[in-house]
């Protein structure tokens, strides 16, 4: 849930470089406040941020004044001599902290999308301050007493269902934040929270810094054989930007596998890429994260024990739809053997391809290694289906995919219309801004599209909100989608892989969840749902990527406009489960690592020197230690679990149960129809967190979640092994 009072700790996992010196003292004078765009709601359309007026020097004054303002508001609520009421306590808290909310929302979004040294310095300095600010609210005894009094009489307050749920959620959040602890434990909890805030910031900064520092420098063009001319040109431009004229630079993504490994014929270079990737965060250099991992997990375990839970996973999962570590372990444990078996069969096919090629060349064969997997997968795909990924890219020009694919599907299903805006300021030149309209012409939202990878941007793909919908404030949503597509050289088209296309549809599913929000209270807005539910609507939206009428509208050659040949499309669909043993195994490896770190007690967790050994033992214990398929994220660069997905990376596959059920529902009820879209929007997407998540699913599907659609989707119904994980690979 998106607790407004906990926004201070919503530290987006982005930043780069080490911590810097303390910021200059903020100017909080009246004149400075008048010039600061965060001291009032933006006058732009839908309160869209004034990116052209926001300066980095505006943040610290807004943070300082915003915290002081909110503490004053909270003090007035806590010390109100009047009897606690829904309005003078809960609604008053909902309305508190506007300056802080405005400034933090923009700041942490920019830290994720376009960081710089000043922002990194501010992030490091303010992380513990914001943690202390949150604790000052959540551990306020008088305030909690008022919330508790309302909670105990909630059914007699004359509230509607959403109001009752809001009281319940505030009470739960206060309890889970330590409101019932002893004074001594509250002091220790504040220390833990402050330490975790600082450590989390340092971890995320180390990850991005080392991604940039670990880029591979290549001396000659010949070594890049297999890459397209466009990819080679981009590598040359990247080298030039680093003052390495005449050389080539391959930037890393924050995943174990690196995309160029699928194309590079130079095996030694593939090995360099892989090895540079997997040692990140554990090399004993200035970016080493092993000590941070040890400290963070021990502190989390201590905090969970203090709250009365056996481990941190138990604490986290109690508030998710999964409810317990046992439920998560059961789900992951059911899938792991079949996934690894599939991966082993795929590995045998790849080894056979290697043996065949080496024999044809009259050269000795070699053992398949992780850096060979993607390269030989494409060869096996070509042999089995006469098809490789490069055949698709000319049909997936980025703007066409977005406007005639992603947007078109939303228009067909929900009646939405989109119009590009060029009058609103941008935080980066590579972004595009759109007005979003309902079918009746009324404005629904503003949407920002930020597609390209850059050194100042964190890895992965995600959605975020700049303005949340709320009936209380009358605000409408401003949301953004972020991808990490390599930017082509000047004047060249951006041609997407199929993987990137489905990621675009996936992330827009999150955007729809935010844009369709129609709740009264900010607490429940948009994607403010349990972590293991939030991926569900986005996974459903992927189904339209290859829906025939949608695909036919956007899959057109970027030069000729010719539609993708049906034979090629048939091959795409035929290969939908190809290589999914690998995809599932690398995902499960990461998800199970997450659970191992967070199901351990403090005394079971290793010191810094034992972090890599703990990881290896965990993978072996869970049976996902297949040497050729390392986890999608190793612990020391696993940003998800050092942030909001701690003990929650399983959420992608958990959500996929609901996704598989929902895809089945759409297909059984006529597919891409306005009636179906309206039903999904009204019963689920518009409700945010205003009702129990699983009840929202029941309202849509008409039944409880069933495992069979997932088993069928993954090929487990006939002993075929696990098939795949949709967007887990995108996250």
Domain final residue pick, 180, 200, 230: 180
Query: Are 509 and 434 part of one and the same domain?
Result: yes
Query: Are 517 and 666 part of one and the same domain?
Result: yes
Q: What is the mean pLDDT of residues 126-153?
A: 96
Structure tokens at 266: 């130079």
Would 260 be classed as within a structural domain? Answer: yes
Query: Are 429 and 546 part of one and the same domain?
Result: yes
Query: Are 435 and 527 part of one and the same domain?
Result: yes
Long-range contacts of 4-7 (CB under 8 A, 24+ apart): 4/93, 4/94, 4/96, 4/97, 4/101, 4/522, 4/523, 5/93, 5/96, 5/97, 5/134, 5/137, 5/138, 5/173, 6/134, 6/138, 6/173, 6/177, 7/97, 7/100, 7/101, 7/104, 7/105
Angle between helices 407-414 and 498-515 (to 10 degrees): 40
Catalytic residue among 120, 210, 397, 507: 507
Would 610 be classed as within a structural domain? Answer: no
Question: In what helix (H) or strand (E) does residue 218 lie, and over which residues does it extend?
Answer: strand 216-218
> How crowded is residue 379: how many other Cβ atoms within 10 Å of its Cβ?
17
Q: Strand 443-452 relative to strand 248-250: parallel, antiparallel, unpaired?
A: unpaired
Question: Sign of the CA dihedral 684, 685, 687, 691?
Answer: positive
Would 613 be classed as within a structural domain? Answer: no
> How crowded is residue 176: how many other Cβ atoms within 10 Å of its Cβ?
17
8 Å CB contact between 418 and 438: no
Q: Cα(389)–Cα(393) distance, rounded to whole angstroms?
A: 7
Domain final residue pick, 249, 278, 307: 278
Would 414 be classed as within a structural domain? Answer: yes
Domain final residue pick, 180, 204, 234: 180
Would 203 be classed as within a structural domain? Answer: no
Query: Are 393 and 269 part of one and the same domain?
Result: no
Would 273 be classed as within a structural domain? Answer: yes
Domain that holds residue 677: 388-574+650-731
Domains in the chain: how many in total?
3
Query: Are 466 and 538 part of one and the same domain?
Result: yes
- Separation in Å, CA 165 to CA 96, 174, 358, 688: 19, 14, 65, 12
Q: Cα(73)–Cα(85) distance, rounded to whole angstroms?
A: 16
- For 606: left if phi > 0, alpha if psi spans -120 to 50, otherwise beta; the answer is beta
Q: What is the mean pLDDT of residues 134-155?
A: 97
Query: Are 117 and 27 part of one and the same domain?
Result: yes
Residue 51, domain CATH? 1.10.1370.40
Would 331 be classed as within a structural domain? Answer: no
- Side-chain-side CA neighbours of 311 within 13 Å: the count stands at 20
Using a pLDDT cut of 70, give the percent of the chain over it: 93
Q: Cα(700)–Cα(373) distance, rounded to whole angstroms?
A: 40
Query: Are 154 and 53 part of one and the same domain?
Result: yes
Taking only the tens place, the pLDDT of each residue in 285-295 is 999 999 999 99
Q: What is the mean pLDDT of residues 497-523?
A: 96
Query: Are 393 and 263 part of one and the same domain?
Result: no
Taking only the tens place, the pLDDT of each residue in 99-125 is 999 999 999 999 999 999 999 999 999
Q: Cα(319)–Cα(646) distance, rounded to whole angstroms?
A: 13
Query: Are 437 and 499 part of one and the same domain?
Result: yes
What's the first-to-final CA gap in the chain, in angstroms? 20
Taking only the tens place, the pLDDT of each residue in 693-723 is 999 999 999 999 987 887 777 655 544 433 3
Q: Is 507 a catalytic residue?
A: yes
- Separation in Å, CA 288 to CA 250, 591, 619: 22, 22, 21
Taking only the tens place, the pLDDT of each residue in 637-646 is 999 999 889 9
Q: What is the mean pLDDT of residues 354-359?
A: 97
The per-residue DSSP string of 344-364 comes to: HHHHHHHHHHHHHHHHHHT--
The model carries a pTM of 0.85
Query: Are 237 and 115 part of one and the same domain?
Result: no
């Amino acid at each position: 849930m998106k607790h407004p009072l906990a926004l201070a700790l919503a530290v987006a996992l982005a930043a780069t470089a080490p911590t810097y010196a303390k910021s200059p003292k903020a100017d909080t004078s009246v004149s400075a406040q008048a010039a600061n765009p965060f001291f009032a709601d933006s006058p732009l359309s839908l309160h869209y941020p004034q990116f052209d007026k926001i300066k980095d020097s505006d943040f610290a004054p807004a943070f300082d004044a915003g915290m002081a303002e909110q503490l004053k508001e909270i003090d007035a609520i806590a010390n109100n001599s009047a009897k606690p009421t829904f309005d003078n306590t809960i609604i008053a808290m909902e309305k508190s902290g506007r300056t802080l909310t405005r400034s933090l929302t923009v700041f942490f979004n920019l830290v994720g999308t376009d960081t710089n040294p000043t922002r990194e310095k501010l992030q490091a300095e303010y992380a513990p301050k914001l943690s202390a600010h949150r604790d000052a609210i959540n551990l306020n005894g008088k305030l909690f007493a008022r919330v508790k009094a309302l909670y105990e009489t909630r059914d007699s307050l004359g509230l509607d269902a959403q109001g009752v749920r809001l009281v319940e959620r505030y009470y739960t959040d206060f309890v889970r934040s330590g409101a019932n602890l002893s004074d001594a434990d509250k002091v220790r909890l504040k220390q833990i929270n402050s330490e975790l805030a600082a450590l989390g910031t340092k971890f995320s900064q180390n990850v991005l810094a080392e991604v940039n520092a670990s880029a591979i420098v290549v001396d000659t063009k010949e070594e890049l054989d297999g890459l397209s001319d466009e990819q080679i040109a981009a590598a040359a431009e990247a080298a030039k930007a680093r003052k390495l004229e005449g050389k080539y630079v391959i930037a890393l993504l924050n995943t174990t596998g690196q995309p160029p490994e699928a194309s590079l014929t130079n095996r030694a270079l593939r090995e360099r890429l892989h090895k540079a990737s997997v040692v990140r965060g554990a090399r004993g250099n200035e970016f080493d994260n092993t000590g941070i991992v040890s400290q963070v997990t021990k502190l989390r375990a201590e905090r969970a024990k203090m709250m009365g839970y056996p481990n941190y996973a138990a604490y986290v999962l109690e508030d998710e739809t999964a409810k317990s570590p046992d439920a998560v372990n059961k789900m992951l444990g059911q899938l792991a053997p079949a996934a690894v078996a599939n991966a082993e069969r795929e590995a045998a096919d790849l080894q056979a391809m290697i043996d065949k090629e080496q024999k044809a060349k009259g050269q000795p064969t070699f053992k398949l290694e992780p850096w060979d997997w993607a390269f030989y997968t494409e060869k096996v795909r070509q042999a089995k289906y006469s098809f490789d990924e490069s055949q698709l890219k000319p049909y997936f020009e980025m703007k066409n995919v977005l406007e005639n694919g992603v947007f078109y599907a939303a228009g067909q299903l929900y009646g939405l219309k989109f119009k590009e805006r060029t009058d609103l300021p941008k935080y980066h030149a590579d972004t595009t801004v759109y007005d979003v309209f309902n079918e009746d012409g009324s404005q629904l939202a503003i949407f920002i599209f930020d597609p390209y990878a850059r050194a100042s941007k964190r890895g992965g793909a995600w959605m975020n909100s700049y303005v949340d919908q709320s009936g209380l404030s009358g605000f409408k949503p401003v949301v953004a989608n972020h991808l990490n597509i390599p930017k082509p050289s000047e004047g060249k088209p951006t041609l997407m892989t199929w993987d990137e296309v489905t990621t675009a549809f996936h992330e827009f599913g999150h955007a729809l969840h935010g844009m369709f929000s129609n709740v009264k209270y900010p607490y429940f807005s948009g994607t403010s749902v349990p972590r293991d539910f939030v991926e569900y609507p986005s996974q459903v939206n992927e189904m339209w990527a290859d829906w025939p009428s949608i695909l036919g509208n956007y899959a057109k050659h970027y030069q000729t406009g010719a539609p993708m040949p049906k034979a090629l499309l048939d091959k795409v669909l035929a290969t939908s489960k190809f290589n999914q043993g690998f995809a599932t195994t690398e995902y499960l490896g990461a998800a199970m690592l997450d659970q191992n770190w967070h199901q351990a007690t403090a005394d079971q967790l290793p010191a810094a020197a034992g972090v890599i050994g703990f990881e290896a033992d965990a993978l072996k214990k869970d049976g996902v230690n297949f040497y050729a398929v390392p986890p999608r994220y190793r612990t020391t660069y696993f940003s998800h679990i050092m942030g909001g997905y701690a003990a929650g990376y399983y959420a992608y596959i958990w959500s996929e149960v609901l996704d598989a059920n929902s895809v089945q529902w759409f297909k059984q009820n006529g597919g891409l129809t306005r009636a179906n879209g309206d039903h999904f929007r009204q019963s689920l997407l518009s409700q945010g967190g205003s009702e129990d998540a699983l009840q929202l699913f029941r309202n849509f599907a008409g039944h409880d979640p069933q495992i069979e659609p997932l088993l069928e989707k993954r090929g487990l119904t006939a002993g075929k092994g696990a098939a795949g994980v949709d967007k887990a690979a995108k996250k």
